[in-house]
Structure 1
């Protein structure tokens, strides 16, 4: 078997293996060093984790209160059970969080740090991405592994 056929078989096998696993997302928040707006995966110390569901979406939530900012990077399926401000439109891109006027309407809680009404932050922005692994890192463009593999494969086959 010559070299080009072997590389082609390996690349096709890797594409099928990659498609059978769930998407990988960064799962951290601003309290973790390197996970703030100036994202640095080396500061976190890992390359992300696979999401619990096969057809999951990576999410980056930016919550602002005045000049302070809190960023959460997570899989959408991990946030659905306890977040009520998830936008209905979950396609690629960023949207403001929704507002629920009936949230915690009948709760008499005097501890303001619990924030049962979810009204502490002035603005909440949800950014969704699902077309590439670890795509919830930052606003910069990320190169798909598939495109890199196909480009390398084409370059090797031409030689």
Structure 2
């Protein structure tokens, strides 16, 4: 039979690794090669960055104006200080950005390109994900969760076999 010591060791390793590692997200925009709608992490040249906070969320922002589209991928904690259109519901999935009626009320800016009222884009969509590392990339299936469960199963199976 499997010893309690081995089970506790495996479970504590899984809990320690899971709780100390922040989620990794892609952090780029559509001006970066490979970061557009047809996402290609090889074109970016890196595997993402860890988010600054432990309970962070990966975000993909799609902003459309006519036929042009701007895509931004980042961690939620990096966007909160300067984005006022983040939806209140930040659970998995995509939803439209909110409108802030108080934004730039007391600003008299005649330069249209500055866009202090954030009304240039016709549509802004926020896609949130936090159940998997680098989940703000393409819509392809990610296998890191399956790999974690398979590795755990193999470790437990090898411990059972040794006894």
Q: Which residue of the partner structure matches residue 143 of structure 1?
A: 143
Shift of 1:10: 7.1
The total of aligned residue pairs comes to 153
Counterpart residue number, 2:3? none
Secondary structure class of the residue paired with 2:73: strand
Match of 1:43 in 2: 43
CA distance in 2, matches of 1:134, 1:74: 10
Gaps of 5+ in 1: 1-5
Structure 2 counterpart of 1:104: 104
- Structure-2 residue corresponding to 1:79: 79
Matches within 5 A, 1:7-156: 13=13, 16-145=16-145, 147-154=146-153
CA distance in 1 between counterparts of 2:20 and 2:96 reads: 32
Q: Distance in 1 between matches of 2:12 and 2:38?
A: 35
Partner Cα separation in structure 2 for residue 75 and residue 40 of structure 1: 18
TM-score by length of 2: 0.84
The structure-2 alpha-carbon separation of the partners of 1:42 and 1:14, relative to structure 1 and needing over 3 Å to count, comes to: farther
Structure 2 CA distance for aligned equivalents of residues 120 and 25 of structure 1: 27
User: Which residue of 2 is the match for residue 3 of structure 1?
Assistant: none
Where in structure 2 are there 5+ consecutive unaligned residues? 1-5
Shift of 1:151: 1.9
Provide Cα deviations, 1:94-144, integer angstroms capped at 9, x if missing partner: 000001122101111111111101000000000000111100002222223
Residues 42-64 of structure 1 show CA distances to partners (whole Å, capped at 9, x for unaligned) of 11110000101111000000000
Q: TM-score, normalised by structure 1?
A: 0.86
CA distance in 1, matches of 2:34, 2:45: 9
Structure having the higher Rg: 2
- Name the Cα RMSD after superposition: 2.2
